[in-house]
A and B are shown apart, each in its own frame.
Chain A
Amino acid sequence: QSALTQPRSVSGSPGQSVTISCTGTSSDVGGYDYVSWYQQHPGKTPKLMIYEVTERPSGVPGRFSGSKSGNTASLTISGLQADDEADYYCCSYAGSYTLVFGGGTKLTVL
């Protein structure tokens, strides 16, 4: 079970949109619609942003959206704001009561 693959970094200007990819296999991302995304600011606890591929917890802005195609899930952030600058992690159910996280992506708001 290897970590899901995420780009190490992405960047965008305020107001723009960015997409962070999360690539796994048919045993995790591709096999289940149970991908979640977490935002982590420096020194802070991770915060759930998306669950079950596309669902947003209450309180998370509609600017955050999730999708999946095959073995790759994606998190899209539209209307970038300065406070969106953080690390983002994907996580997928991988069967047999196991989970796997991605390697994390650092989002820089230029």
Chain B
Amino acid sequence: QITLKESGPTLVNPTQTLTLTCTVSGFSLGASGVAVGWIRQPPGKALEWLALIYWDDDKGYSPSLRRRLTISKDTSKNQVVLSLTNMDPVDTATYYCAHRGGSGWSHYFDYWGQGALVTVSS
């Protein structure tokens, strides 16, 4: 079955770079049509889509955060990595990685990781 699990620091200092890893199982990151996305949710607030990476290494980024985000994958390790630079307290959130269902332009997230709460504070 498909599973995803986020890992990374729970606390980061302002101005630091956050690096989160999503380790997946039950599918290959290199299989045609596969994509994995990152979504975050500040405490008590709405979901916000951050980035996507596709099997062929195409990438998509939230326009508002594009300058600060980098997404990459290591197919051999079954891992997707998200980096967010210049962290600020407003970036405090639960960060989820999720498996994209569908293919082509169809995008929906059918499997989600448990989420990783990241707090930005000095």
A interface residues with partner B (beta carbon < 8 Å): 1, 3, 32, 34, 36, 38, 40, 45-48, 51-52, 57, 89, 91, 93, 96-104
Contact = CB atoms under 8 A, between A and B. Distances in A.
Chain B interface extent, by class: 20 to 34
B106 A104 contact: no
A98 B62 contact: yes
Contacts of B102: 34, 51-52
A100 B52 CA distance: 12
Nearest to B47: A101
B115 A101 contact: no
A51 B108 contact: yes
Interface in B41-77: 45-49, 52, 54, 58-64
29 contacts: A1-B62, A34-B105, A34-B108, A45-B114, A45-B115, A46-B39, A46-B47, A46-B96, A46-B112, A47-B112, A48-B108, A51-B101, A51-B106, A51-B110, A52-B108, A57-B110, A89-B47, A91-B109, A93-B106, A96-B60, A97-B54, A97-B59, A99-B37, A99-B52, A99-B60, A100-B49, A101-B39, A102-B46, A104-B46
